[in-house]
Structure 1
Amino acid sequence: MSGKPRLTYLNGRGRMESIRWLLAAAGVEMPVLLLFGLGLFLNQCPDAEVSRLSFYSPSAVRFDEVYLETKEQYDKLIKDGFLLFQQVPLVEIDGMKMVQTRAIMSYIAGKYNLHGKDLKERALIDMYVEGISDLMQMILMFPFSPPDAKEKNLESIKERATNRYFPVFEKVLKQHGQDFLVGNKFSWADVQLMEAILAVEEKLPTVLSGFPQLQVFKTKMSNVPTIKKFLQPGSPRKPPPDAHYVETVLKVFKK
């Protein structure tokens, strides 16, 4: 195994997207390693057809991403003991095979100094991240809504965003008058909130109309150099889930 972190998931957002956001915010740049073929994984079969796509120059390579395309690949991960709880995302980093999204992100945030300077700041960051994660769970599941439930589920996202979650962060930013959520320092919580804002705006473009502090926050975050780079075309940021992504998820994880 190389010294670079390696991410294993599908070619789409899902539960890996927040990890990609956090790594990008930390300045960790990424190429992609895309595997094709039934039962092939991590180049263990020498006849595998492997296609490498690079978003950045080779000198900037910092970690690899492996895309699952088939159920056989997923089953092989489980059989070979890569997935502690038989779930992805999987992030191989610093000699560990890490699973569970929250644990992975907590480690990355700590490693790259995005998790506060003391216990109180970390507690606030964790609290904010958990709240945002509740909203992101609704967004993550939305593409899998039955056609007759999409309108209702979209309305639920709007209601939760505008009445429960965004007012909290609007108030926090207004009360302390600082650029970032915790300790006036860029943190995991800021990254997670920015991801959530953009994800909701994709579905509800005017959702921030009643939140002037969040509008300012979004502008400032968009100009953080690592975030700005991640938001540019051609970055490793994944597009909104489409029908092909939904079909692949159902195929890979079918019982």
Structure 2
Amino acid sequence: MSGKVVLTYFNGRGRMESIRWLLAVAGVEFEEVNLTKRQEYVKLLSDGALMFEQVPLVEMDGMKLVQTKAILNYIAGKYNLYGKDLKERVMIEMYAEGLQDLMQMIMALPFMPPDAKKTKLEEIERKATSRYLPVFEKALISSQYLVGYQLSCADVQLLETTLMLEEKFPTILSKFPVVKAFQGRMKNLPAIHKFLQPGSERKPQPDDVYVKTVCEVLDFKL
């Protein structure tokens, strides 16, 4: 197991997608186990593979890792995407936490009743343009990266988030030219360019099949 990274999750984005992004940027190949039946999830529970009875689960370096933030921090630390010292690391984590807050609002959309989605989309757009994107526009005015002088996991998550936002609001970056320029630079990095191509491990936007599968596996009713 130590030589092979295995991701156990659903065949969709969710909380695993940021992990896929970071592994791709780090140049780490991985395999995926897609949960499709309730019994598969129950077996993971009975085997004791899920510390808090939740996925994502990442098997790497002889460990079974759970909890998205912990997994991301481990990968970032191992592959030099976590800053040069403690002060840079805490800044990276602050940016990353904010981005995860924003992404999780978008992730929740497919599981909401149709009549609630319009209101939620309006809230996401308002918060993105008033609370989140201005922070990153300011941070990138005089720097190529969010923190320090090298790529970090926060930069990767910012790219992921801006692409998710543009899927819902195509012109949302029009008032944030610095973030838009950052996005363009990031997309040209070889590992990211490869990950953005058709047929990569990047997952498409969630559809009804993904939502149905998640609900059935987790015994969750909308």
Q: TM-score, normalised by structure 2?
A: 0.97
The DSSP-based 3-state class of the residue aligned with 1:6 is strand
2:44 corresponds to which residue?
77
Deviation digits for residues 112-151 of structure 1 (CA, Å, limit 9, x no counterpart): 0000010111011001000111101101101111010111
Pick the structure with more helix per residue. 2
Is 1:89 aligned to 2:72, yes or no? no
SS of aligned partner of 2:33: strand
Aligned residue for 1:114?
81
Within 5 Å, which residues of 2 pair with 1:79-228?
79-174=46-141, 177-228=142-193
User: Displacement, 1:5?
Assistant: 1.0
1:189/1:133 CA distance change after superposition, 3 Å: same
Supply the distance in 2 between the matched residues of 1:97 and 1:21 (Cα, whole angstroms): 19
Q: Distance in 1 between matches of 2:203 and 2:105?
A: 18
| Cα drift, residue 184 of structure 1 | 2.1
RCO comparison, higher one (Cα < 8 Å, 6+):
2
SS at match of 2:149: coil
Deviation at 1:96, TM superposition (A): 0.6
Q: Deviations over 1:91-115 (max 9, x none)?
A: 0110110000000000000010000
Deviation of 1:2 after TM superposition, in Å, equals 5.8
What SS class does the counterpart of residue 98 from structure 1 fall into? Answer: strand
* Equivalent residue pairs, number: 220
1:9-24 alignment, distance < 5 Å:
9-24=9-24
- 2 CA distance for matches of 1:169 and 1:138? 18
Match of 2:214 in 1: 249
Distance, in Å, in 2 between the alignment partners of 1:185 and 1:216 is 17
SS at match of 2:175: coil
The alpha-carbon distance between structure 1 residues 26 and 120, as it changes in their structure 2 partners (threshold 3 A), is same
Supply the distance in 2 between the matched residues of 1:243 and 1:204 (Cα, whole angstroms): 21
Report deviation, 1:179: 1.2
Offset, 1:64: 1.2
Q: Deviations over 1:180-199 (max 9, x none)?
A: 11112111000000000000
User: Normalising to structure 1: TM-score of the pair?
Assistant: 0.85
Specify the alignment match of 1:6 in structure 2.
6
Separation of aligned partners in 2, 1:206 and 1:184: 29
RMSD, matched Cα: 0.9
Query: Displacement of 1:27 after TM fit?
Result: 1.1
Q: Can you list the C-alpha shifts for 1:146-179, whole angstroms capped at 9, x where unaligned?
A: 01011101111101110000000001111xx121
CA deviations over 1:33-59 (Å, ceiling 9, x no partner):
xxxxxxxxxxxxxxxxxxxxxxxxxxx
Runs of 4+ in 1 over 4 A off after TM superposition: none
Contiguous gaps of at least 5 residues in structure 1 = 30-62
SS at match of 2:83: coil
Corresponding letter in the other structure for 1:75: V
CA–CA separation in structure 1 for the residues paired with 2:214 and 2:78: 30
- Say whether the 8 Å CA contact 2:2–2:61 is kept in structure 1: no
